[in-house]
Structure 1
Amino acid sequence: MHITNLISQYFGKFAKKEFPSFFQKIINSIYVKIFKIDLSEFRKAKYYKSLNDLFTRELAIPRQIDELENNIISPCDSFITQGGKIKEDILFQIKGMEYSLEDLLTYYCTDNFQKVKNGSYINFYLAPSDYHRYHAPIDFVIKKLIHIPGKLYPVNFKYLKKEIELFVQNERVILECISAKGKLFYMVFIGALNVGQMVFNFEPTVETNKNAKDIKYIDYEGVEINKGDALGYFKMGSTIVMIWEEDSVELENLLNQKVKFGQKIATVK
């Protein structure tokens, strides 16, 4: 087991422990202050029974989303670290640090690789202070889920700038999706240090950071998901990479900007 996985497992045990109420309120308060978390859309920190409960908090005030049919919304609250056109097989985790699309998606996606190798992509970085739940960016059908065990390096800017092919090395879950207009796209959920789990509401059999060594592959007849639906959540901050079929979307210019779940990030062509 890699040291990053071991650290994450120990932290996960601490984060899910429910301490006595008085002590837990102190832990929650310290965490909120350190990471400057805005709880204006959520319950107050004192109401969460564990750090995991706080990390995976649900919105207490419903979020308004862009409901126009052809507008793709951000699946999460995050910072856009990179995005744009894929050149053949190359994406960037951050400027100057490239990685292979084929290595990221693995041979399980070979049949569709030609469709996306010159497509578009966006990297969404979720900081520890962000809302950790992820949602459907558009109406779509899930065709495949692929869980790839791996390391759990941090995905912050320090590591993005120094660790070669970080996204390919880290544990990840890939969703292969078909939009309501028949266009292919992928959502890649990437684990990180202290991410005890990535949870998917529609597939409870997926267990991340559990010493798994083999790739888990699930083929679906078609799980229908509506725009804005909750897909699941990270336990701590991490990264989502979205990858679209060539000439299927027009991206908004959001590089190095914060985005919110529900905000328009692209338009279907």
Structure 2
Amino acid sequence: PNSIISPVDATIETFGDITEKGLFYVKQKTYTLQDMLGSEKIASSFQNGKYIVLYLSPAEYHRIHSPVDGKILNQYILGKKSYPVNKWGLQFGKQTISGNYRMLTELEMPNAKKCIHIKVGAMFVNSIELTNKSNAWKKGEEIGYFSFGSTVVMLFEEGSVEFSSAVHPGKFVRMGENVANML
């Protein structure tokens, strides 16, 4: 009941701690929570929290599932166009994750802490189809799909989760595999 599962079949691009100033790092690039979330107020909730970036190649299963049981607090879209989200796009692109078209879902988890589940569009493919329009998600249930390769980013509030010891950059995870545990 305390596990947080991978919502997709994907490669763990990176994971780690979000700084006190709301910064996190992907491929030696600095991202800000405010740019990623489009709101200073929402961003402040995730300072000193944790993040994980999951990359889906075009060959992967493109259904998206809920990583945890949760009540939807907020759901919104940011960005208009998208650039590649593969390793080259992340390394050489400019703010790929926080600039691309993305659908954000803020969830309240069973431990009363918040998680933001961010579905990021890929170059030329801004199709993120939401199939679950309810106000609560159940762990493992399908919530949507990408029409092509893309990325899922999950952000967690400070003191809410601890990553599994099996999680490391470059590891391929299947949907349903444990990536973290709620505290």
Instruction: Give the TM-score category using the shorter length.
Output: over 0.9
SS of 2:58 mapped into structure 1: coil
Q: What is the deviation of 1:98? A: 1.4
CA distance in structure 2 between the aligned counterparts of 1:168 and 1:111, rounded to whole angstroms: 16
Q: Quote the residue 2:176 is aligned against.
A: 262
SS of 2:135 mapped into structure 1: strand
**Which among 17, 39, 60 is matched to residue 85 of structure 1?**
17
Q: Quote the residue 1:123 is aligned against.
A: 53
CA deviation string 1:73-123 (max 9, x = no partner): 1000000111110112111222x111111110012xx33432211100000
Answer yes or no: is 1:247 the counterpart of 2:159. Answer: yes
Q: What's the Cα RMSD here?
A: 1.4
CA distance in structure 2 between the aligned counterparts of 1:90 and 1:249, rounded to whole angstroms: 18
Moved over 2 A (4+): 110-115
Report the CA distance shift for 1:188/1:196 in structure 2 as closer, same or farther (over 3 A).
Answer: closer
Answer yes or no: is 1:72 the counterpart of 2:34. Answer: no
Does the aligned pair in 2 maintain the 1:174–1:187 contact within 8 Å? Answer: yes
Does the aligned pair in 2 maintain the 1:139–1:179 contact within 8 Å? Answer: yes
Does the aligned pair in 2 maintain the 1:254–1:265 contact within 8 Å? Answer: no
Q: Which runs of 5+ in 1 are unaligned?
A: 1-68, 204-221
Q: What is the deviation of 1:164? A: 2.2
Give the TM-score normalised by structure 2: 0.93
Q: Quote the residue 1:228 is aligned against.
A: 140
More strand by share: 2
Does the aligned pair in 2 maintain the 1:194–1:236 contact within 8 Å? Answer: no
CA distance in structure 2 between the aligned counterparts of 1:102 and 1:149, rounded to whole angstroms: 13
Q: What is the deviation of 1:150? A: 2.1
CA distance in structure 2 between the aligned counterparts of 1:93 and 1:244, rounded to whole angstroms: 16
Q: What is the deviation of 1:149? A: 3.0
CA distance in structure 2 between the aligned counterparts of 1:112 and 1:168, rounded to whole angstroms: 15
CA distance in structure 2 between the aligned counterparts of 1:153 and 1:115, rounded to whole angstroms: 28
CA distance in structure 2 between the aligned counterparts of 1:149 and 1:161, rounded to whole angstroms: 19
Q: Which runs of 5+ in 2 are unaligned?
A: none
- Of all paired residues, the percent bearing the same amino acid is 33
Greater C-alpha Rg: 1
- May I ask how many residue pairs the two structures share in their alignment? 180
CA deviation string 1:135-177 (max 9, x = no partner): 0111101111111132210111111111121112211111011
CA deviation string 1:181-213 (max 9, x = no partner): 21111011110114251001134xxxxxxxxxx
Q: Quote the residue 1:164 is aligned against.
A: 94
Give the TM-score normalised by structure 1: 0.64
CA distance in structure 2 between the aligned counterparts of 1:90 and 1:175, rounded to whole angstroms: 20
Answer yes or no: is 1:135 the counterpart of 2:50. Answer: no
CA distance in structure 2 between the aligned counterparts of 1:85 and 1:244, rounded to whole angstroms: 9
CA distance in structure 1 between the aligned counterparts of 2:99 and 2:54, rounded to whole angstroms: 17
Q: Which one-letter code corresponds to 1:171 in the other structure?
A: Y
Does the aligned pair in 1 maintain the 2:82–2:96 contact within 8 Å? Answer: no
Does the aligned pair in 1 maintain the 2:101–2:126 contact within 8 Å? Answer: no
CA distance in structure 1 between the aligned counterparts of 2:14 and 2:145, rounded to whole angstroms: 22
Does the aligned pair in 1 maintain the 2:83–2:124 contact within 8 Å? Answer: no
Answer yes or no: is 1:195 the counterpart of 2:125. Answer: yes
CA distance in structure 2 between the aligned counterparts of 1:196 and 1:182, rounded to whole angstroms: 32
